[in-house]
Amino acid sequence: MIGTALTDLWYGFGVAFEPHNLVFCFIGVLVGNMVGVLPGMGPLATISILLPLTFGMKPVAAILMLGGVMYGAQYGGAICSILLNLPCHPPHAVTCLDGFPMTKQGRGGVALGLTVFASFVGASWGITEMIFLSPLLVKAALQFGPAEVCSLMLLGLLAGSTLARGSPIKGVAMTVLGLFLGSVGTDLETGSERYTFGMTELDDGIELIALALGLFGIAEFMNSVNQVAPINTKYTNVGLKDMQPSKAELKQAFFPMWRGTIVGSLCSLIPGTGPTIASFVAYATEKKISKHPEKFGTGLIEGVVCPEASTHSSVQGDFIPTMSLGIPGDAVMALLLGALMIQGIVPGPQLISQHPDIFWGLVASFWIGNIMLVVLNVPLIGIWVKMLAIPYRFLYPSALFFVCIGVYAANNDFFQVGEVAVIGLFGYVLLRLGFHPAPILLGFVLGPRFEENFRRAMLISRGDILVFVERPISAVFIGLCALLIGSQIYFRLRGTKADLEPADENAIGEHVPTELARQRVSATPAE
């Protein structure tokens, strides 16, 4: 078991070290890091905007590059939150609590240096989990029939929408809306058109890219334009030398880092609990077991490394269900899965055996990419710091251009550009009404497969809806769904929010910036 995994990993390194794959991984990390540093650009927006660049590539290179973009952007977000107190991406909200005070004390460099290290440790652990757990999960998943797949998707969707952020019931509504949007276009089984209103451009369904860029690009720009306070760059003079932690600081960071990693990986095992929850839980745990909890919030190293390690380990852990079951846990994963679908690759348990180069190449490239990240950030930190000062009034018009051309490039069709504007307006209305649009993407990506499996399950069971509770594995998933809904109602009635929920979310950044950019779902049905 371990032997095969290591052989496969060796093969993966072979794939990842192919020169062009290595170059694309490097470009991904570099560009992702660069864009991620910009205030207001989280991993979602960064991946969406950069997705069109990968259309012409081979699937392996494309996914390696997007993987690099993802963790590059994630680390870039940490720089933004530590130096500017601006969490562009919710998981970093906690990092601000202690990271920014450290910056004020002139120890921002140390915080950044330790963050690089903590992310590496967290990510490495997550990757190791991925290597050993994914094949196990695949083995189990290959036994699943349509009914099981359906219930599992239901569980994933419910968890993704209720545990994430904001009101659970609004999250579920967004997921349902996403599922519906996924059904627009030609029906796979009967070939009849649905909700196209006579527009032939909609026959292939709504473009994933248009949806992602509309919701996380345009809607986000509308939300932040003229609302962004001028950035305070008073503390951002960080040079290479400042980044080196002293021995004492390293020692202080060592155990919190590992505790954060463990918490993160545990959180990633629960479907739907993404990096945001992982980082909040890690911070809370660290505070609880600390000998001097009152010092948290004043610039404690533990308060920086623990949530960062936790975030990175949980993100890597989130790849496990995404790659081995084809069920993404959050919007970032849904976007990456959509990118694979654009490349014509069908996600699901068969992915690892059918495309070992993608899976193992990705695993190996995570490691290579994370090392690149460390190597890049040390000399380039000065440049990143300068980029923090780019004002929003230059940023959003340029980003809008990338949105337009990216959507156009997906199909060479101007109709899609109009689509993105309409979706953007709709997304902004949703934002103003207190909805978080991320679950829409989740529902949208899973929608067509959910419908397909649902129909198949019904056909096999001869129209008996009870099949979902009669088959034992499926019944377990349905039971978990019921438990999830039940506990939400219970907490609601008791008036206490589930303790997993980031309590002070409002204090920290309105919503996840947007980066779901371009995924063509139209590619999916074809396969």
Partner 1 sequence: MRLSTSPIRELMGKRDFYAGGLMVLLGLGIALKGTTYRAGTLMHMGPGFLPTALGIILILLGIAIAATGFSSDGDGHGEDQSLLPENPQWWAWFCILMSPMAFIFFGRYFGMIPGTFACVFIAALGDKTATWKGTIILATVVTIFGVALFSYFLQVPMPILTWRGEL
Q: Which residues bind partner 1 (CB under 8 A)?
A: 53, 56, 166-167, 169-170, 172-173, 176-177, 179-180, 183, 187, 189-190, 192, 194-195, 218, 221-222, 225-227, 392-394, 396-398, 400-405, 408-409, 412, 414, 417-418, 420-421, 424-425, 428-429, 432-435, 451, 454-455, 458-459, 462-465, 495, 506
Q: How far is the CB of 394 from partner 1 (least distance, A)?
A: 6
User: Exposed, middle or buried by CB within 10 Å (0-12, 13-18, 19+), for 492?
Assistant: middle
Q: How far is the CB of 392 from partner 1 (least distance, A)?
A: 8
Q: How far is the CB of 324 from partner 1 (least distance, A)?
A: 26
Cβ proximity to partner 1: between 409 and 475 the closer is 409
Cβ proximity to partner 1: between 176 and 387 the closer is 176
Cβ proximity to partner 1: between 20 and 432 the closer is 432
What's the start-to-end Cα distance of the chain, in Å? 32
Q: How far is the CB of 192 from partner 1 (least distance, A)?
A: 5
Place of tokens 């305070």: 232
The greatest distance separating any two alpha carbons of the chain, rounded to the nearest whole angstrom, comes to 69
SS3 letters across 152-198? HHHHHHHHHHHCCCCCHHHHHHHHHHHHHHHHCEECCCCCCEECCCC
According to DSSP, the β-strands at 185-186 and 193-194 are antiparallel
> Which tokens is 347 given?
């996600």
Are the C-beta atoms of residues 384 and 34 closer than 8 Å to each other? Answer: yes
Q: How far is the CB of 308 from partner 1 (least distance, A)?
A: 27
Question: Helix axis angle, 108-141 relative to 2-16, nearest 10°?
Answer: 120
**CA pair distance 344, 339, nearest whole angstrom:** 9
SS3 letters across 288-340? HHCCCHHHCCCCCHHHHHHHHHHHHHHHHHHHHHHHHCCCCCCHHHHHHHHHH
Place of tokens 């334009």: 225
Cβ proximity to partner 1: between 272 and 317 the closer is 272
Cβ proximity to partner 1: between 139 and 432 the closer is 432
Q: How far is the CB of 391 from partner 1 (least distance, A)?
A: 8
Q: How far is the CB of 381 from partner 1 (least distance, A)?
A: 24
Cβ proximity to partner 1: between 17 and 408 the closer is 408
Q: How far is the CB of 12 from partner 1 (least distance, A)?
A: 28
Cβ proximity to partner 1: between 142 and 460 the closer is 460
Q: How far is the CB of 27 from partner 1 (least distance, A)?
A: 12
**CA pair distance 55, 442, nearest whole angstrom:** 21
**CA pair distance 437, 215, nearest whole angstrom:** 7
Cβ proximity to partner 1: between 185 and 264 the closer is 185
Cβ proximity to partner 1: between 150 and 282 the closer is 150
Coil, strand or helix at 244: coil
**CA pair distance 482, 460, nearest whole angstrom:** 24
